[in-house]
């Protein structure tokens, strides 16, 4: 029977603490913060519409402002003559159409998951990450002018493209895995912090901008300007110490967007999916994650509309009621990590 002396146990604990401190020293905290900020702006760019939806036109008892007229020249074969007919079309979106523009972003994320993974494996982190930013920016520039019944299909396509940008989560989490040990309990809090941060700040800012003289369009363009500024900083600031040397040798742009397969983790492992899916515990985790994600996203996506349309609060009050959930979520997650460290 073997036993471990208290002295050996203390030495082992001190060694673990020393190794942990050494690992922490090599973590580029500013780079992780910058990546999280970039991911927050991408997420925020698709979230803006969840608040501006409350500022879109309402149908007002079939008033004249709800319709637009077009002259249609119709030919009557019996009388062998043509005549001009004035046709009235609905100009503004109905409530189901407005809400559908929120939900279709998830379709884009699902469709883009595989292409973005392929892009990450072949293009590296920076190029795939910046590419997602462009995918988020370009549809957002045209979306505000397409929110009407005439261009509803185009608005759907633009929102799906915006949803594709949310697949930036894949290169984001892969890059974090290079620096952060993913077996640590606090990793989910760090990885998913961007969504809570975006929800906390987006709704109040957007509501105040939309209710001002600038109008609800300004909130969308403001989100575009923000993402451009943050990613411009991301491109300018490089976390590698040898960047200047590479930039002087092969040029700034080549150094910034060089091929990164050797430095970025790729999905080249043979994962035993069949044996994984045969484990009942995995399905329990899937179901729990699905239920949690549905409850969270339903509230995040339709919270402002619910508080405004159903409960009857103003647009700005609805925004502040909506951010209570992400604030409590973030506090609970951080508290759980703290309690786990103390009690484990």
Q: Which two tokens stand for residue 183?
A: 């077996």
- The sign one gets for the Cα dihedral 168, 174, 180, 182 is positive
- Encode the chain (344 residues) as per-residue pLDDT tens digits: 445 555 555 555 555 455 554 455 566 778 888 888 999 999 999 899 888 888 876 655 454 555 555 666 666 677 777 766 666 556 677 778 888 888 899 899 989 988 888 888 877 788 888 889 999 999 999 988 888 777 888 999 999 999 999 998 888 888 887 777 766 667 777 788 888 888 899 999 999 998 888 888 899 999 999 999 999 888 877 545 555 566 667 665 665 555 444 444 544 556 666 777 778 888 888 888 788 878 888 888 888 888 988 888 888 899 999 899 889 888 888 888 778 777 76
Give the pLDDT confidence score for residue 1 in this predicted structure. 46
Cβ neighbours around 26 below 10 Å, total: 7
For position 158, what pLDDT does the model report?
92
Question: 34, 194 in Cβ contact below 8 A?
Answer: no
Q: How far is CA 218 from CA 55, 196, 210, in A?
A: 12, 23, 7
Structure tokens of 308?
Answer: 């405004």
Question: Residue 54's closest CA among 206, 162, 156, 197?
Answer: 206
3-state secondary structure 50-72: HHHHHHCCCCCCCCHHHEEEEEE
Give the SS3 label for residue 84: strand
Domains of the chain: 28-343 (1.20.1250.20)
Helix and strand numbers, DSSP H then E, in the chain: 17, 2
Distance CA 281, CA 277 (A): 9
Q: Which residues contact 194 (CB under 8 A, 6 or more apart)?
A: 36, 39, 40, 43, 172
Q: What pLDDT score was predicted for residue 259?
A: 45
| pLDDT for res 160 | 93
- Return the bridge partners of 85, or none: 72
Predicted local distance difference test score (pLDDT) of residue 340:
74
Nearest to 66 by CA among 88, 86, 85: 88
Q: Residue 61: its pLDDT value, please?
A: 44
* CB atoms inside a 10 Å sphere around CB 251: 11
Q: How are beta strands 81-90 and 67-76 bridged, if at all?
A: antiparallel
Q: How far apart are CA 58 and CA 92, in angstroms?
A: 8
- Strand ranges, E, within 2-64: none
* 196-227 burial code (b ≥16 CB/10 A, e <16): bbbbbebbebbbebbbeeeebbbbbebbbebb
The predicted structure's pLDDT at residue 15:
53
What is the number of other CB atoms lying within 10 angstroms of the CB of residue 306?
A: 16
Q: What share of the chain is helix, strand, coil (3-state, %, to 5)?
A: 75, 5, 20
């Amino acid at each position: 029977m073997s036993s471990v002396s208290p002295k050996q146990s203390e030495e082992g604990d001190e060694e673990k603490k020393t190794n942990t401190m050494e690992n922490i020293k090599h973590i580029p905290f500013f780079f992780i913060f910058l990546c999280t900020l970039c991911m927050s702006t991408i997420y925020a760019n698709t979230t803006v519409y969840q608040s501006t939806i409350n500022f879109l036109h309402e149908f007002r008892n079939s008033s004249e402002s709800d319709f637009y007229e077009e002259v249609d020249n119709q030919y009557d074969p019996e009388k062998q003559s043509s005549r001009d007919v004035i046709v009235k079309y609905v100009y503004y979106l109905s409530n189901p159409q407005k809400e559908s523009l929120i939900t279709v972003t998830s379709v884009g994320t699902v469709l883009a998951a595989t292409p973005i993974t392929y892009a990450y494996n072949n293009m590296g982190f920076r190029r795939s990450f910046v590419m997602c930013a462009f995918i988020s920016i370009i549809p957002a520039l045209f979306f505000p002018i397409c929110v009407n019944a005439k261009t509803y299909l185009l608005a759907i396509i633009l929102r799906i493209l915006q949803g594709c940008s949310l697949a930036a989560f894949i290169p984001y989490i892969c890059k974090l895995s290079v620096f952060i040990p993913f077996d640590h309990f606090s990793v989910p809090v760090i990885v998913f912090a961007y969504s809570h941060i975006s929800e906390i700040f987006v709704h109040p800012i957007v509501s105040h901008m939309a209710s001002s003289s600038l109008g609800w369009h300004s909130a969308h363009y403001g989100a575009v300007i923000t993402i451009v500024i943050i990613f411009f900083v991301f491109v300018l600031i490089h976390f590698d110490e040898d960047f200047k040397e590479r930039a002087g040798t092969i040029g700034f742009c080549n150094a910034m967007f060089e091929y990164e397969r050797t430095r970025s983790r790729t999905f080249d492992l043979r994962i035993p999916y069949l044996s994984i899916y045969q484990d009942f515990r995995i399905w329990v985790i899937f179901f729990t994650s699905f239920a949690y994600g549905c409850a969270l996203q339903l509230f995040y996506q339709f919270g402002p509309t619910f508080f405004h349309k159903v409960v009857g609060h103003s647009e700005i009050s609805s925004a502040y009621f909506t951010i209570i959930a992400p604030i409590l979520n973030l506090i609970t997650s951080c508290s759980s990590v703290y309690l786990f460290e103390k009690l484990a």
